[in-house]
Every structure is written in C-alpha cells, then in structure tokens.
Amino acid sequence: MDDEREASGLRLPLLITGLAGVAGYNAFRYLSARYPGQVIATRRVDNWPLQGEGILGCDAHDGEQLARLFDQYRFRTVLNSEGSCALKSCELDPQMAQRVNVGSVANLLDTIGHSDVRLVHLSVDLVFSGQGDGLHAEEDQTDPVTVYGKTMVEAEQLILTRRPDACILRISLPMGISFNGHAGAIDWIQSRFKKSKPATLYYDEIRSPTYTDCLNLLLEDVLRRDLAGLYHAGGPNHLSLFQIAQVINRVGGYDPDLLNGCLRHEAGPMPPRAGNVTMRSDKLAKALGYEPFTPWPWFEEHVPTDPEWHYGGRSEAYGSPHLLASVLYRNPSRDVAFRK
C-alpha cells in the first residue's frame, strides 16, 4: 500500500463528500478499490439507506460534525462533490440550497484552514444560462437561471478567494450508475422506460456528458497533481436531453413511443431550465497533456441523427438493458484510451 501510495502521488487518507451524487458515488467506488482503507465518503445523516464500508453520515453544512471527522481521520486530500442538484427543491427552498451548496463549502474551508490539504471541488455547467450558442470557456461570464446554479457560482467564488491553490472542475452530466437507481441521468430516464412510463425531455437543453469511467480517472489524476484554478470538464459530444433519452431508449431496446420531446418554455416556469450550456474543455486537456474524455456514447452508431432516430435499428438482436449497461454506463474504450 505504501508503494502504491508513493507511486500514485495521491496523499492519503482521502475524503469524498457528496456520496449521493453520481460523480461522488462512482469516484468513491473507484478510488476506495484503488486505495483500500484509505478513502472515506460522507452522505447526509438522514440518507441512511446509503451504507457500506468507508461510508459515514455527516452533514457537511454542520461545521462541528465536519471538524470532528477531520480530527478523527486527518485527511490530506478532499474531493468535494457535496451539493443539492434537485432543481425544483432548490427553487422552492432557497435557504436549503444556500445551506447545502454554499454553507457546506464555507465549513469545509474553515475546517481545512491554512493547512496543506489538497482540495478538488466539483461545480457544474449550469452556472451558465445557455441562452447563446454554448461552447463556454472558463472566462465566460456566469449567468445561471436557477437557484442551484446561483449557489454553485457562490461556492466557486468562495473557493477561488480563500483557497487559490484548490482546483475547481465544472462537470456536466456524469453518465454512470447511482446508488438508488434513479438519481443519475441514465437511471432516471431508464427507470421510466422500464416501467413503461413516458419520459419527456427537452430539445433545447444541451449538455456535455461524460462517462464516469473517464471522470474517475481524471479525478484521481487531478487529486494527485497541484493543478489550481477553474477548469471545464465536459465531454466532446454535445447532446440535448432529448437526444440523450433517444440513446437510452434505442440502445436499451425500450418502446420508442414512450419518449416525448418539448421545448423548455413549453414545460412551464418551474423549475427554470438552461439552454445550451456546452463547455470547451481544451484548457484542461492542455494542462493535463492529454484528452481526459472520450465521447459519450462511445460508438458513433449510437449518436442520434434526427428526432425520429430512436425508432430505427430495431431488431430482436439489437437493443437491450444488457447492451445499455455495457456501452452507456461503461466506457467500452477505457482500457485502450487510458493505457499509458
């Protein structure tokens, strides 16, 4: 273990906050397997179904709880993925959003103080409104349309001001499993189709999805480097939410009539929806010296070409939950793309 720790450059033990999210959950599964007994993850105290070795209940917005955790484990590295991304809940309860998304960051910074703890923080593409043509760069002005996005901007500013040595990664949609089977983008959409229930997604909300296989490797690399500042970490394929649902519907072999599409304004004002929030991630690739993300989906034949695309390619030999799990939850190219 000591040899592996030295070779990796990752200072242990490692704390991962925000285990209930797709990014944090998949990072914990990957990193705890890589460094057994050296990775602790936190979930909110009331989220008792989320249990397992190395998983502890701790409300990050409770400074005393967090301080006790640091006193006990003496963390040397932190991956902060804490936050409430439930758009409607944040709109209806902005005080909760402030407490969870900003207060938790302030408490973490207070707890770390002036120590040399390595901090990597995950933010999101929804700090932008997406009213333009997308392809946002790091220097673009943030203009979120949701309470969630506004609190994420505030958290970013806290870290940039108080810990300029920290690294902030703005991610988009991490494509991987969630702990409860319907917290992530794939899980929620697939859960609707599995139950023969319709799913309505937006034609004009466009994101930069990434495989969690890629994101896990990126996070491990950034955690062990001294990379500082703000970086975009989005995938090279830019897809609307409707297109993402098309992929899941067709690759999973589900009834195409269950998928509906609409424009954002047709869905009503609550919660507000962003538009084209795609990101350029060339700054990150240049800093790393390699491209961290392969396209999601990996196979070009799985990329929608028109609004009726999910009706095509149907046969008994094509399209199944097993195929979906092997090419959408998992990156089929990961062993090749990241071999060094």
Structure confidence by residue, pLDDT tens digits, 315-332 = 666 799 999 999 999 999
* Whether the predicted pLDDT of 1 surpasses 50: no
4 or 87: whose pLDDT is higher?
87
Residue 322 has a pLDDT of 94
Determine contact, residues 340/217, Cβ cutoff 8 Å: no
For the chain, how are helix, strand and coil distributed in percent, rounded to 5? 40, 15, 40
| Cα–Cα dist 108/139, whole Å | 25
* Whether the predicted pLDDT of 340 surpasses 50: no
Residue 198 has a pLDDT of 97
User: What are the backbone dihedrals phi and psi of residue 251, each rounded to the nearest 5 degrees, phi first?
Assistant: -65, -35
Determine contact, residues 246/310, Cβ cutoff 8 Å: yes
| CATH architecture observed for domain 2-241+270-337 | 3-Layer(aba) Sandwich (3.40)
* Whether the predicted pLDDT of 7 surpasses 50: no
With cut-offs at 50, 70 and 90, classify the pLDDT of residue 222: very high
Q: How confident is the model over 32-61, as a mean pLDDT?
A: 92
In Å, what is the CA distance from 318 to each residue of 251, 252, 301, 307?
Answer: 8, 9, 12, 20
Neighbours of 56 (CB within 10 A): 16
76 or 267: whose pLDDT is higher?
76
Percent of the chain at pLDDT > 70 equals: 95
Q: Which residues contact 140 (CB under 8 A, 6 or more apart)?
A: 128
Structure confidence by residue, pLDDT tens digits, 245-290 = 999 999 999 999 999 999 999 988 889 999 999 999 999 999 999 9
| Cα–Cα dist 318/97, whole Å | 43
Per the DSSP assignment, residues forming a β-bridge with 118 are: 77
* Whether the predicted pLDDT of 3 surpasses 60: no
Q: How confident is the model over 75-79, as a mean pLDDT?
A: 98
Residue 315 has a pLDDT of 67
* Whether the predicted pLDDT of 6 surpasses 50: no
Determine contact, residues 34/219, Cβ cutoff 8 Å: no
62 or 138: whose pLDDT is higher?
138
Percent of the chain at pLDDT > 90 equals: 85
| Cα–Cα dist 8/167, whole Å | 18
Q: How confident is the model over 9-20, as a mean pLDDT?
A: 95
Annotated domain spans of the chain:
2-241+270-337
Burial class (CB in 10 A: 0-12, 13-18, 19+), 48: exposed
* Whether the predicted pLDDT of 300 surpasses 80: yes
With cut-offs at 50, 70 and 90, classify the pLDDT of residue 4: very low
* Whether the predicted pLDDT of 147 surpasses 50: yes
With cut-offs at 50, 70 and 90, classify the pLDDT of residue 179: confident
Structure confidence by residue, pLDDT tens digits, 107-125 = 999 999 999 999 999 999 9
Q: Give me the amino acid identity at 263.
A: L
